[in-house]
Chains A and B, each alone.
Chain A
Amino acid sequence: EAGVTQSPTHLIKTRGQQATLRCSPISGHTSVYWYQQALGLGLQFLLWYDEGEERNRGNFPPRFSGRQFPNYSSELNVNALELEDSALYLCASSQRADTQYFGPGTRLTVL
């Protein structure tokens, strides 16, 4: 069974641009979670989608947004990129609301 997949693997943007990151959950999983892993800060919760709706949001500004599609895949959009947005962005999926399985991440670099 395929695990969580994310694309792209790496993304390089400049300040002020927009970034779009994508995630495909494990087949049968309806929940998708996004986390930011910045250097020295561990994993910080960003967004949680379930059945197409946003269920919870972490302490991040509104320029971090996303959506979940009918096939349960998800997109994370980051507008007006800032240097401190450089991080590894991890997507996780779950069938229940608790056991989450992670993808390999997208490394976003903002120059």
Chain B
Amino acid sequence: GESVGLHLPTLSVQEGDNSIINCAYSNSASDYFIWYKQESGKGPQFIIDIRSNMDKRQGQRVTVLLNKTVKHLSLQIAATQPGDSAVYFCAETLSGNTPLVFGKGTRLSVIA
């Protein structure tokens, strides 16, 4: 399968538990943030986004939290399933003006 990094941080969770994936972003001026999921052999898949005027946004089984004070983003996955196993990337941009800048990624491994 696709390998996106030799030294990715890895998070191992039991099926059914909640997962929290963290990301430190680099530019304090960034105002739009996206989480992507990349499964082996596939391109990144959009999961959820958040703008800087919010500190929390919820989707289906996922929640993104934004702490602008410490430039920190997190992705929470509720009731983690084996299909959630993938590499997760956060990305930041200054809306409309700059391309996305991606974090290094975190590998989530779900133990059945």
Contact in complex: A48, B89 (CB < 8 Å): no
Q: For residues 49 through 100 of chain A, which have their beta carbon under 8 Å from a beta carbon of chain B? A: 56, 58, 88, 90, 92, 96-100
Q: Which residues of A contact B45 (CB under 8 A)?
A: 102
Given A102-B43, A104-B42, do A42 and B100 touch, yes or no (CB 8 Å)?
no
Contact A102 B44 (CB under 8 A): yes
Asked whether A97 lies within 8 Å of B97 as measured between CB atoms, the reply is yes
A97 CA to B34 CA in the complex, in Å? Answer: 13
How many A residues, CB 8 Å from partner? 26
A37 contacts B4, C-beta separation under 8 Å: yes
| B-chain residues with CB within 8 Å of residue A33 when the two chains form the complex | 99-100
Chain B residues packing against A (C-beta within 8 Å): 2-7, 32, 34, 36, 42-46, 49, 89, 93, 95-105
Contact A39 B3 (CB under 8 A): yes
A101 to B44, CA, bound (A): 8
Q: What residues of chain A have their CB less than 8 Å away from a CB belonging to chain B? A: 4, 33, 35, 37, 39-43, 45, 48, 56, 58, 88, 90, 92, 96-105
- B112 to chain A: closest CB distance in Å? 26
**Most A-side CB within 10 Å, residue of B2, B95, B100, B103:** B100
Between-chain CB contacts (< 8 Å), 25 pairs: A33-B100, A35-B102, A39-B3, A39-B6, A41-B5, A42-B103, A45-B99, A48-B99, A90-B43, A90-B44, A92-B43, A97-B96, A98-B34, A98-B49, A98-B93, A98-B95, A99-B34, A99-B46, A100-B100, A102-B43, A102-B44, A103-B43, A104-B42, A104-B43, A105-B43
CA distance A66 to B4 in the complex (A): 24
Q: Which of B6, B89, B100, B104 contacts A45 (CB 8 A)?
A: B100
**Cα A104 to Cα B2 with chains together (Å):** 11
Asked if residues B89 and A43 are in contact (CB atoms below 8 Å), the reply is yes
Q: Are the C-beta atoms of A42 and B43 separated by less than 8 Å?
A: no
Which of B7, B32, B43, B101 meets A40, CB within 8 Å? B7
Supposing A39-B6, A42-B89 touch, asked if A99 and B49 sit within 8 A by C-beta, the answer is yes
Chain A neighbourhood of B104, CB < 8 A? 42
